[in-house]
Structure 1
Amino acid sequence: MIRFEHVTKSYADGTTAVDDLSFEVAEGELVTLVGPSGCGKTTTMKMVNRLIEPTSGTIYLDGDDISAIDPVELRRRIGYVIQQVGLFPHKTILDNTATVPHLLGWPRKKARARAAELLDLVGLDPATYGDRYPDQLSGGQRQRVGVARALAADPPVLLMDEPFGAVDPVVREHLQNEFLRLQSTLHKTVLFVTHDIEEAVRLGDRIAVYGAGRIEQFDTPATVLGAPATPYAAEFVGADRGLKRLSVTPVETGDLEQPPIVHLDDEVRHAADRLSADGAPWAVVLDADDNLHGWVSAATLTGAAAAGDATATGKDAAAADGAPQGATVRAHARRMDAWLPLGAPLKQAFSTMLQYDAGWIAVLDGDRFLGVLTPARLHEALRRSTTADAANIARDEVSLHTVHDV
């Protein structure tokens, strides 16, 4: 979709902002350009919509040489989001969002309907926010309007220059989540400039790590973190790149342990005996369809079974068989809040463990229970991912050695 061929941008004072740049962004791909200030990443982006003209080389958009396209026409085909948003202060949010459709000659009714649709898509109810003005919105809300406006004419390409850099960290993370949700639906071809390696890792399908006017490494986030191509790339991504990998390493079925399982309608006595035989301190509780319900401790089941025995004493013990007729796990199961979906990043798993002070968390595929992830297995998953990338093999082909193997 976007292709750079030996592109250079030099200035009259001898400064070379971008030097012999060649790379390609595939259709529907989100590529983050990351590097320190002055490295050429914003210049690279601005050459795509011809806000800056290259000194030499060629840039192609969907196979067309952009130098042969009228700049105004080109920019109307490309969505553009900047850090300061640039909303018109005298226009309502709805009219701000409809700016490009208006410029393209859309009928007013159609343009406003499209604007309302996009505001709703970015989480701003047009009935509530449409008639407001930019100064009546928070920074995060204005940034959402900027994204909606860039998408209003449904451009195939989106350029984003530090779009979330002017908001606080909490709002920034929320905006990143919302943008990832949008991208999973819209599949735009995106160039995203940032100086934050964590943001680049979190958002990008691939990352271009910039040195001085050139790309030091262009690869997936996992590869950039696991196998930096140059000393510069290694220094830029940081000595804690192993921790950053938590954001791009998904939970897989091979990472999970299989704990003891009981069902809601199992009799308490039978469930207690099963856990006792296994020497297990707890079990996961599933419903009749094997969907996750919660968990129960062996001590709770043993206590309930003992109480049932005491109740049955002097009565028809043979009929009662220990616990009272109908006493099941259902009455003793506890809710499980510590869970996450298969494929979630290890960072989310680690955060969930800390949030609930949990020694393990359940992993689900939809509602279906797959297993549990423990801190030890989380660490193993991270090590396998790092080793797999370094050796260019699949993660499940990695064999790990621990102190227990000695």
Structure 2
Amino acid sequence: MIRFENVSKRYPDGTVAVDDLSFEVGEGELVTLVGPSGCGKTTTMKMVNRLIEPTGGRILLDGEDIAGIEPVQLRRRIGYVIQQVGLFPHKSVLENTATVPSLLGWKRAAARERAAELLDLVGLDPKVFGPRYPDQLSGGQRQRVGVARALAADPPVLLMDEPFGAVDPVVRERLQTEFLNLQANVRKTVLFVTHDIEEAVRLGDRIAVYGEGRIEQYDTPATVLGKPATPYVAQFVGSDRGLKRLSVTAIEPSDLEQPPTVRLEDTVESAAARMREEDARWAVVLDANGELHGWVQLDALALAKGGAVRDHARRMEAWVPVGANLKQAFSAMLQYDAGWIAVVDGAKFTGVLTPARLHEALRRSIDADSSGVDRAEVTIETVG
């Protein structure tokens, strides 16, 4: 979708902002450009919509050299979101969102209908927020409007220049989550500029790590964290890159243990007998449909005088859904001071993740990337 071929940007005073840049962004891919201030990442992005003109090489958009496209027409085909949002203060939220469709000649009713759809998509009720003006919104709400406006004409490409950098950390994390959910639905080709490696890792399908006007490494977040290409990249991503990698390593079925399970309607005696047979001090409690209910301790059953498991089961607080990453699992363990967490598919119990298995999963993921094989093929030696 976007291809850079030996692109450079040199200014008259001799400053080289971008030097011989070549990389490609696939259709529907979200690529984060990350690096320190002045490294050329924003220049790279602005050359895509010709806010800055390259001095060498060429940029292709869906196979077409953008140098041959009239700049205004090009920009109307590309969504653009910046940190300060840039909403028109004298226009309502709905009018701001309908700006590009209106410029493209859409009928007023169609443009406003599209704007309302996009506001709803980014979590702003158009009936509530549409009539408001930018100064009546919070910073996070303005950023959502900025994203909605950029998507209003359904552009194939979205450029985002540190869009969440001006809000507080809590709002920023929420906006990142919402944007990932949005991207899963709209699948735009996105160039996302950030100086924050954690944001780059969380959002990007691939990451371009910038040095001085050049890309030092262009790869998946897991590979950048697990196998930095240069000492510069290793220093930039940080000595805690192993912890950062938790957020890009998904829990897989092979990572889970299968503890004993008992049913709510089981008698105390039968459940206790099963747990003793498996030499287990606790068991996961499921309902009649195999859905997670909680857990029960053998000691509690041993002291009971008859009855059913349901009378002694404890609520399960520590759990994550299938598809969660290791960071989410680790966070749940810490939050609930749990020695293990359950993994569920919907409400169906699939297994538990222990700290030892979490560690093994991380090591297996790193070794798999280094060897170019699937995680299931990696054998981890443990000291026991």
Q: TM-score, normalised by structure 1?
A: 0.93
Q: What is the DSSP-based 3-state SS (H/G/I as helix, E as strand, rest coil) of the residue aligned with 1:383?
A: helix
Cα RMSD for the two superposed structures: 0.9
> 2: CA distance between counterparts of 1:92 and 1:83?
20
362-371 vs 211-220, which moves further = 362-371
Partner of 1:369: 349
> 2: CA distance between counterparts of 1:58 and 1:277?
70
328-337 vs 165-174, which moves further = 328-337
Q: CA deviation at 1:3?
A: 0.5
- The residue type equivalent to 1:13 in the other structure is D
> 2: CA distance between counterparts of 1:221 and 1:163?
20
> 2: CA distance between counterparts of 1:331 and 1:113?
55
Partner of 2:180: 180
Q: CA deviation at 1:109?
A: 1.0
Partner of 2:81: 81
> 2: CA distance between counterparts of 1:362 and 1:145?
38
> 1: CA distance between counterparts of 2:368 and 2:238?
20
- The residue type equivalent to 1:73 in the other structure is Q
1:384 equivalenced with 2:378 (yes/no): no
From 327, 334, 342, the counterpart of 1:347: 327
Partner of 1:152: 152
Q: What is the DSSP-based 3-state SS (H/G/I as helix, E as strand, rest coil) of the residue aligned with 2:207?
A: strand
Map 1:158-177 onto structure 2 (within 5 A): 158-177=158-177
Partner of 1:196: 196
> 2: CA distance between counterparts of 1:356 and 1:186?
35
CA deviation string 1:249-286 (max 9, x = no partner)? 00011111111100112112111122133331111011
> 1: CA distance between counterparts of 2:98 and 2:338?
48
- The residue type equivalent to 1:338 in the other structure is A
Q: What is the DSSP-based 3-state SS (H/G/I as helix, E as strand, rest coil) of the residue aligned with 1:399?
A: coil
Partner of 2:297: 297
CA deviation string 1:276-328 (max 9, x = no partner)? 33331111011222121111111222222xx23xxxxxxxxxxxxxxxxxx32
Q: What is the DSSP-based 3-state SS (H/G/I as helix, E as strand, rest coil) of the residue aligned with 2:284?
A: strand
Q: CA deviation at 1:402?
A: 2.1
Q: TM-score, normalised by structure 2?
A: 0.98
- The residue type equivalent to 2:339 in the other structure is G
56-65 vs 328-337, which moves further = 328-337
Q: What is the DSSP-based 3-state SS (H/G/I as helix, E as strand, rest coil) of the residue aligned with 2:128?
A: helix
> 2: CA distance between counterparts of 1:277 and 1:3?
62
- The residue type equivalent to 1:283 in the other structure is A
CA deviation string 1:94-143 (max 9, x = no partner)? 11111111111111111111111111111111111111111111111100
Larger Rg belongs to: 1
> 2: CA distance between counterparts of 1:335 and 1:15?
63
176-185 vs 259-268, which moves further = 259-268
328-337 vs 207-216, which moves further = 328-337
1:122 equivalenced with 2:102 (yes/no): no
> 1: CA distance between counterparts of 2:99 and 2:317?
45
- The residue type equivalent to 1:153 in the other structure is A
- The residue type equivalent to 1:385 in the other structure is S
Q: What is the DSSP-based 3-state SS (H/G/I as helix, E as strand, rest coil) of the residue aligned with 1:142?
A: helix
> 1: CA distance between counterparts of 2:121 and 2:296?
41
Map 1:125-144 onto structure 2 (within 5 A): 125-144=125-144
- The residue type equivalent to 1:394 in the other structure is D
Q: CA deviation at 1:66?
A: 0.5
Map 1:209-248 onto structure 2 (within 5 A): 209-248=209-248
> 2: CA distance between counterparts of 1:340 and 1:370?
11
Partner of 1:34: 34
> 2: CA distance between counterparts of 1:224 and 1:139?
32
Partner of 1:64: 64
Partner of 2:315: 335
**Structure 2: gaps spanning 5 or more residues:** none
Partner of 2:285: 285
- The residue type equivalent to 2:109 in the other structure is K
Q: What is the DSSP-based 3-state SS (H/G/I as helix, E as strand, rest coil) of the residue aligned with 1:112?
A: helix
Q: What is the DSSP-based 3-state SS (H/G/I as helix, E as strand, rest coil) of the residue aligned with 2:364?
A: helix
The percentage of aligned residue pairs carrying the same residue is 77
Partner of 1:106: 106
- The residue type equivalent to 1:390 in the other structure is S
Q: What is the DSSP-based 3-state SS (H/G/I as helix, E as strand, rest coil) of the residue aligned with 1:403?
A: coil
Partner of 1:322: none
167-176 vs 383-392, which moves further = 383-392
